[in-house]
Amino acid sequence: MRTQVGIVGAGPAGLMLSHLLYLDGIKSVIVENRSREYVEARIRAGVLEHWAADLLVHTGVGERMQREGLVHGGIHFSFNDELRHIDFKALVGKGILVYGQHEVVKDVITRRLADGGQILFEVNNVCVEGLTGAPKIRFQHAGRAQELDCDFIGGCDGFHGVCRPSVPNGVLTGYEREYPFGWLGILAQARPVSEELIYCLHPRGFALFSMRSPELVRLYIQCAPDEDIAQWPDQKIWRELHARLAAGKSRELAEGPLIERGVTAMRSFVVEPMQYGRLFLAGDSAHIVPPTGAKGMNLALADVLMLSRGFADYYRTGRSDRLDAYSATCLRRVWKAQRFSWWMTQMLHIGPRHNAFDRKRQLAELDYVTSSEAAARSLAENYVGLPLDI
């Protein structure tokens, strides 16, 4: 087999890269080791930055999102028995869109297949080679060994993928921080407690009240990174959520049947550069953020938008300036998102070594960002998404 850009991974990064390339007349093939059903049901992020929602609309994959997504003009912080609002619309003139990552994945898969795109699901033993010369992706599909020759490879295979580890030792530098806590997340059939998200700092730990629709809530509580989900019967989860909602309690948290539950450890990670020869890393294969800033899916989309512009220039004019600048351009945005995600995380979680001083400092920080217009605007600017360097 032969294509122009071989893509490993059918998450938001790989799918959107393939879609954007198609719109520029560039051929691609995606290889994905999971089934279509699996990737379409994988519950993950839920917040689209303003520009990212626009991108989906402008490229023709935002129709269902416009119908079913929830436009939010701000967020709440609950701390010290108070509920305070940050009004993004008033501060920066933009909002965000709450729409599940797996819905984005479904929409782009549907569109790619309708456009004749090739996505090979359930492939095995993927390996990438010839990265500085003639790139090739080898894999097994439907019981047969296959080879895909390509001009370039898009490494969109997430944090545990094969692309990043295929770069020779010593080429890439990793920057990493692990956090001493994780999130226990649930999806439940219940009415949202608030029209907009509530981020809570509580002495028992962080909690987040989000949603997917007027009948479906997505809720998170801080837990240990290796928390055993079996130790969390439904009643215990709801009890913790009620306790941590504290200041928002007057709003009465509705309970409902759980549809999904899981624990995610939290980590910050960046690899530099995001390119080796003809392999370009995008999304979680190059960087991970703790979810508190709601940046993971957005960074993946920003990377592949940059990358698609680079490939478009290359195939249209033969110039590689944009491709050469891909890593440096993305990393500027990535590091700002890392800073914001780390900052939100440290402000809202109780660390195992926190003392009374840390508690007071966190409360002062929340008081400051929710009362100083300058600080609130900075938070709003980052949350709705920094401008794209394009």
Strands 28-31 and 47-48 come out as unpaired
Residue 210 binds which entry of ligand FAD, ligand DHB, none, CB below 5-8 Å type-dependent = ligand DHB
Residue 292 binds which entry of ligand FAD, ligand DHB, none, CB below 5-8 Å type-dependent = ligand DHB
DSSP secondary structure code for residue 195 in this structure: S
Least distance in angstroms from the C-beta of 289 to ligand DHB: 9
**Chain Cα centroid distance, residue 210:** 15
Cα distance between residue 287 and residue 281, in whole Å? 9
158 is an interface residue for ligand DHB by CB under 6 A: no
C-alpha R_g of the chain: 21
47 is an interface residue for ligand DHB by CB under 6 A: yes
Least distance in angstroms from the C-beta of 169 to ligand FAD: 19
What residue type is assigned to position 97 of the chain?
L
Taking CA atoms, 302 is separated from 25, 193, 352, in Å, by: 20, 31, 34
Q: Which is nearer to ligand FAD, 98 or 156 (CB)?
A: 156
Least distance in angstroms from the C-beta of 272 to ligand DHB: 24
Q: Which is nearer to ligand DHB, 29 or 47 (CB)?
A: 47
- Helix (H), strand (E) at residue 289: none
Cα distance between residue 286 and residue 280, in whole Å? 9
Q: Which is nearer to ligand FAD, 73 or 291 (CB)?
A: 291
In 3-state terms the chain splits into helix, strand, coil percentages (rounded to 5) of 40, 30, 30
Q: Residue 35: exposed, middle, or buried by beta-carbon count in 10 A (0-12, 13-18, 19+)?
A: exposed
Binding mask 258-277 for ligand DHB (x = CB under 6 A): --------------------
Least distance in angstroms from the C-beta of 240 to ligand FAD: 18
Residue 194 binds which entry of ligand FAD, ligand DHB, none, CB below 5-8 Å type-dependent = none
Taking a C-beta distance cutoff of 8 angstroms, is the pair 264, 291 a contact?
yes
DSSP letters of 123-176? Answer: -EEEEEE-TTSS-EEEEEETTEEEEEE-SEEEE---TT-STGGGSPTTS-EEEE
Q: Coil, strand or helix: which one is 120?
A: strand
Residue 157 binds which entry of ligand DHB, ligand FAD, none, CB below 5-8 Å type-dependent = ligand FAD
Catalytic residues: 72, 199, 291, 295, 383
Least distance in angstroms from the C-beta of 294 to ligand DHB: 3
Residue 39 binds which entry of ligand FAD, ligand DHB, none, CB below 5-8 Å type-dependent = ligand FAD
218 is an interface residue for ligand DHB by CB under 6 A: yes
Residue 48 binds which entry of ligand DHB, ligand FAD, none, CB below 5-8 Å type-dependent = none
Q: Which is nearer to ligand FAD, 124 or 372 (CB)?
A: 124
Q: Which two tokens stand for residue 299?
A: 């960074």
- List the one residue from 46, 135, 155, 158 that touches ligand DHB (CB under 6 A): 46
Burial 43-68 (b: 16+ CB within 10 A, else e): bbbbbbbbbbbebbeebebbeebeee
Q: Which is nearer to ligand DHB, 45 or 184 (CB)?
A: 45
Residue 107 binds which entry of ligand DHB, ligand FAD, none, CB below 5-8 Å type-dependent = none
Burial 159-190 (b: 16+ CB within 10 A, else e): eebbbbebbeeeebeeeeeebebbbbbbbbeb
Using the contact rule CB under 6 A, the part of the chain among 2-10, 44-52, 143-151, 252-260 near ligand DHB is 44-52
- What are the residues facing 261 on neighbouring strands? 186
292 is an interface residue for ligand DHB by CB under 6 A: yes
Using the contact rule CB under 6 A, the part of the chain among 43-51, 141-149, 261-269, 332-340 near ligand DHB is 43-51
Residue 49 binds which entry of ligand FAD, ligand DHB, none, CB below 5-8 Å type-dependent = none
Q: Coil, strand or helix: which one is 255?
A: coil
Preceding omega of 387 cis (within 30 degrees of 0): no
131 is an interface residue for ligand DHB by CB under 6 A: no
Give the angle subtended at the CA of 47 by the CAs of 43 and 50, to the nearest 5°.
150
Binding mask 173-212 for ligand DHB (x = CB under 6 A): ------------------------x----------x-x--
- List the one residue from 45, 108, 237, 366 that touches ligand DHB (CB under 6 A): 45
Give the residues lining the site for ligand DHB (CB under 6 A). 45-47, 197, 208, 210, 218, 291-292, 294
